[in-house]
Structure 1
């Protein structure tokens, strides 16, 4: 799509901002669930116990903190538009782990517990990383 006037450019920038904010803030919330137990999360201990129920016996607390940091930092970078590609990579790594460990065995569709949602997050974050965050960023690079 060719940008024909400033209005088109502004709308594209606003669209990118909306996508970045929605995904970034949501991922930050997930990170806070794992790290601090906020928003109904189990914190590092609760997430570690959940990982144990999936068969991950060792390092549950480490993986809980690592996943929480990837989500919190990745979400922050992604929503602010600062180091967007790094934020997208952090989010994508966590989502690939979620697919491999939790959702893959259930197939694609989310209504069966599949990886549809996590796959879409990977696609959108990588897509935004490739085209750039747009003009509305907190820390211009």
Structure 2
């Protein structure tokens, strides 16, 4: 090995270490987003299945509609269907990492409505907004951060380039939609 080969190796070795560390850091970031997406997505989809089908110990549409009526929503059975579908579709989207900002917007909207219903119950669960606030915060974080590399969005060239703007727009959309539902659908 010539002097220049040894010299080059001593200069390139330190340069490779940060790249490897950055790759490991990115992998950890992507795995963290995958786990968060899966947990929030499955939780939301399961809640939607409770409302729509009575699965997982849920009440089904009739009882959920009755709950919406007691909370002051007009057209309570329709609201139960909308809420259940939004939770299933938004949750499945987060789980898959598909249309992640829109999926997160669905969760944001549902959680704002849930917190509005529970507003008088204080902070801590089960009557308070604690649980709903954590799900809302997780959805906002996913909207801002994007789905990571282990997501369907990453496989689609149009969706691969997640931007902070997408997250901000999605959170704003979810909040505005929730506000409209609260203004129009609640007495």
On whether the aligned pair clears a TM of 0.5, the verdict is: yes
Residues 68, 77 of structure 2: 8 Å contact kept: no
Matched, 1:115 2:134: no
C-alpha separation between the residues in 2 aligned to 1:86 and 1:121? 15
Kept after mapping to 1: 8 A contact 2:45/2:88: yes
**Residue 40 of structure 1, aligned match among 57, 61, 74:** 57
Residue in structure 2 matched with residue 126 of structure 1 by the alignment: 140
The offset of 1:55, in angstroms, is 4.0
Query: Taking structure 1 as the reference length, what is the TM-score of the superposition?
Result: 0.89
SS state of the match for residue 150, structure 2? coil
Q: Which has the higher contact order (CA 8 A, sep 6+)?
A: 1
Q: Distance in 1 between matches of 2:29 and 2:75?
A: 43
Helix, strand or coil: the match of 1:38?
A: coil
Cα displacement (A) at 1:72:
0.4
Q: 2:79 aligns with which of 63, 79, 91?
A: 63
Structure 2 Cα separation of the partners of residues 109 and 38 of structure 1: 26
| Equivalences, count | 137
**2:107 counterpart SS class:** helix
Task: Name 1:29's counterpart in structure 2.
Answer: 46
CA distance in 2, matches of 1:54, 1:131: 34
Q: Quick check: 1:93 aligned with 2:122?
A: no
Q: Where does structure 2 lack aligned partners over 5 or more consecutive residues?
A: 1-18, 160-187
Residue segments in structure 1 that go unaligned for 5+ positions in a row: none
2:98 aligned residue (63, 67, 82): 82
Whichever of the two has the greater Rg, that structure is 2
